[in-house]
Structure 1
Amino acid sequence: MFDADSLCAETDPDVWFPERGGSANPAKAMCRRCENEDACLEWALTNGEEIGVWGGKSAPERRKLLADRQLSKSRKQADINHGTEGGYRAHQRRGEVIADADPCGCRGAYQLAAAQRRERRAA
């Protein structure tokens, strides 16, 4: 149930809110054919929709998605030792661009280590 151009706007609202024990499959099938499926799911996740089918996912499926995202986000942050040359390399492996502002200190640590290596080679 995303906007007036979505397939859900043309469908009986009861389809999106099946009774306990009822099947969400008809709603999910319609979502798979809708061009707004991804946007609808993101809206539901962002706004904490707790009931019904949104973006092709039931409430329990959305809760699992949110939990997985949180876990992934916390692991991603924990995997980087910020402020170190190794942290800089971890950002590179992930394809993350480190801004010139260098909020985590990784770029500065990398540049310092590179300068120290150049000095040792020159000596």
Structure 2
Amino acid sequence: MPEPRVPARAAEDGPWHAEAVCRRDEAGLFFAPSKEPTAARLSREEAAKRVCARCPVMVACREHALLQPEPYGVWGGLTAAERRVVLARMRRRSAELRQAPGAGSIAAAG
């Protein structure tokens, strides 16, 4: 399995992933084996999300997975499918803001 990509951070902060709770768990919990049955996948993903829920760097992990974007696994409490939905909503919202009549004029009027 390839090494996950990690965004650059300020040296004084240290890498966010060093504090990740999942570093102490089995990686198989976060990444699907090939041909995994649906019921097993859903159970594994819920278990991974429970680990994420108690992680102090969940938000940084999620941001990383959305910015990369990470195509596989549970990152920051979101599955790959959930991240695709979030990214699609972000793209749609960005397009709506660009197309909105008078976009940017509110800031100028303020």
TM-score normalized with structure 1 length: 0.64
1:26 to 44, 47, 69: 47
Which structure: larger Rg? Answer: 1
2:22 and 2:53 map into 1 onto residues whose CA distance is 11
Pairwise mapping of residues 7-22 of structure 1 onto structure 2 (< 5 A)? 7-19=21-33, 20=36, 21=38, 22=41
1:4 aligns with 2:25: no
Per-residue deviation at 1:18?
2.9
Query: Within 5 A, what are the aligned runs for 1:74-89?
Result: 74-82=95-103, 88=105
Aligned residues: CA RMSD? 1.9
**Structure 2 alignment gaps of length 5 or more:** 5-15
Q: Which consecutive aligned stretches of 4+ in structure 1 deviate over 4 angstroms post-superposition? A: none
* Residues in 2 aligned to 1:48 and 1:69: alpha-carbon distance in whole angstroms: 13
- Structure showing greater relative contact order (alpha-carbon pairs closer than 8 Å, 6 or more residues apart): 2
Is 2:69 aligned against 1:48? yes
How big is each residue's C-alpha offset from its partner over 1:45-101, in whole Å with a ceiling of 9 and x where there is no partner? 11111000000000010001000000011111211425xxxx52xx2xxxxxx4xxx
Partners of 1:27 and 1:15 in 2: how far apart? 6
Tell me, in whole angstroms, the C-alpha distance in 2 between the residues paired with 1:33 and 1:11. 13
Separation in 1 of the partners of 2:23 and 2:90?
29
Q: In the comparison of the two structures, how many residue pairs are matched?
A: 88
Q: Which runs of 5+ in 1 are unaligned?
A: 92-97, 99-106, 111-123
Cα distance in 1 between the residues matched to 2:58 and 2:101: 33
Which letter maps to 1:14? G
Asked if structure 1 preserves the Cα contact closer than 8 Å seen for 2:61 and 2:76, the reply is: yes
Counterpart of 1:71 (choices 71, 78, 92) is 92
